[in-house]
Structure 1
Amino acid sequence: MAGRGLVSAYAALRYDTSVRLKDGRGAGRHVLWPAGWKVCAQDPAAGTDLRGRRVTLTVVRRTESCR
């Protein structure tokens, strides 16, 4: 998911996947408009079976760079 826009990342996940968003700047910001954010990292790693697991996406605003 890293490098994708948040809307695209949501679309790639199964409808029943639990998703937690984490502010990549550590400021505790909340995502109110997903189209304005991008994914920097994910947990668990790509290729992991997600059934019954929560996915954590670390996100920043589109205008910010991933650290």
Structure 2
Amino acid sequence: MFAPDARRVSIVTGATPDSFVSHDMTKAADGVWTWKSEPMKPNLYEYYFDVDGFRSVDTGSRYQKPQRR
């Protein structure tokens, strides 16, 4: 996630709104935020980014789906 002016970014993962888990990301000097998960089985996974409290989808993803509230 490229967000050079952001103060805090997390990736929120989960299959349902009740099971979402937030993972804090680490900011590099070039403004790119990263987080590394454990190895995962191939599948489609639901996630979004929280950028300073603003919910954002992954604009780099080839597969988008309507987001839940």
TM-score, normalized by length of structure 2?
Answer: 0.27
> By percentage of residues, which structure has more helix?
1
Q: Which has the larger radius of gyration?
A: 2
Higher relative contact order (CA 8 A, sep 6+): 1
Q: Give TM-score scaled by structure 1 length.
A: 0.27
